[in-house]
Chains A and B, each alone.
Chain A
Amino acid sequence: EAGVAQSPRYKIIEKRQSVAFWCNPISGHATLYWYQQILGQGPKLLIQFQNNGVVDDSQLPKDRFSAERLKGVDSTLKIQPAKLEDSAVYLCASSLVGQGLENSPLHFGNGTRLTVT
């Protein structure tokens, strides 16, 4: 089975610019997550979708971050305007619904490494 695809792999922008990341989950995975991983820290959940509905976006900085999953498949995460502290790896993950953590763990993509200068 193909894994979670993310693009781009790397992005360098200046502060106050905008940037967008794309994620295509594993086929059939209804749940999609965006995590932010700052260097030296563990992943922090930004937003969670089930199909095209938002399950949890409590930690998403909504003044500058937005995400959508219009057709319940692929997703985009946008930052506008970017700040220096947004420099991080943005990880997308997907999983099956209702299968449990052991039978359907989160499958992560390799992430997009964002540097804001």
Chain B
Amino acid sequence: QKEVEQDPGPLSVPEGAIVSLNCTYSNSAFQYFMWYRQYSRKGPELLMYTYSSGNKEDGRFTAQVDKSSKYISLFIRDSQPSDSATYLCAMSETNFGNEKLTFGTGTRLTIIP
């Protein structure tokens, strides 16, 4: 079993729809959770960061963490064509610096105008 599982998609939705992206994990030591966005032929860039369980909102993006279920989600409201990218969840056990991130496989998302 992989440490982090993510539905690879691809996922296509019409513009304006709400998008839900999810990851599950098996390592209960993970405490720091991130979502990275990767445009085609570019490196990943940090989109959202959360610590432990709870919600965090940033504009149209909301990240949720449920540590009891080992499940994290990213919601995108009012999706735009510019949101078309691959979304990678990432997790870490520590946050002291020199972190080793474990990534999911990524979900490829296309927003249809």
Contact = CB atoms under 8 A, between A and B. Distances in A.
A, B: real partners: yes
Interface of A: 4, 31, 40-45, 48, 50, 55-56, 91, 93, 95-102, 104-111, 113
A58 to B, nearest CB: 9
Greatest chain A CB density within 10 A among B8, B44, B88, B106 is at B44
Interface residues of B, number: 27
Contacts of A105: 34, 46, 49
A104 B90 CA distance: 15
Contact of A106 (B8, B32, B46, B96): B46
B14 to A, nearest CB: 25
A40 B7 CA distance: 11
B97 A111 contact: no
A4 B49 CA distance: 21
A63 B104 CA distance: 27
Contacts, number: 69
A44 B103 contact: yes
Contacts of A4: 43
A43 B103 contact: yes
Contact of A55 (B34, B46, B92, B98): B98
B84 interface: no
A87 to B, nearest CB: 15
Nearest to A9: B41
B43 A91 contact: yes
Contacts of B44: 43, 91, 106, 108
A101 B6 contact: no
A45 B101 contact: yes
B42 interface: yes
B32 A101 contact: yes
Contact of A110 (B6, B32, B42): B42
Nearest to B8: A40
B96 A42 contact: no
Interface in B55-101: 88, 90, 92, 95-101
Contacts of A100: 95-97
A31 B103 CA distance: 18
A101 B105 CA distance: 20
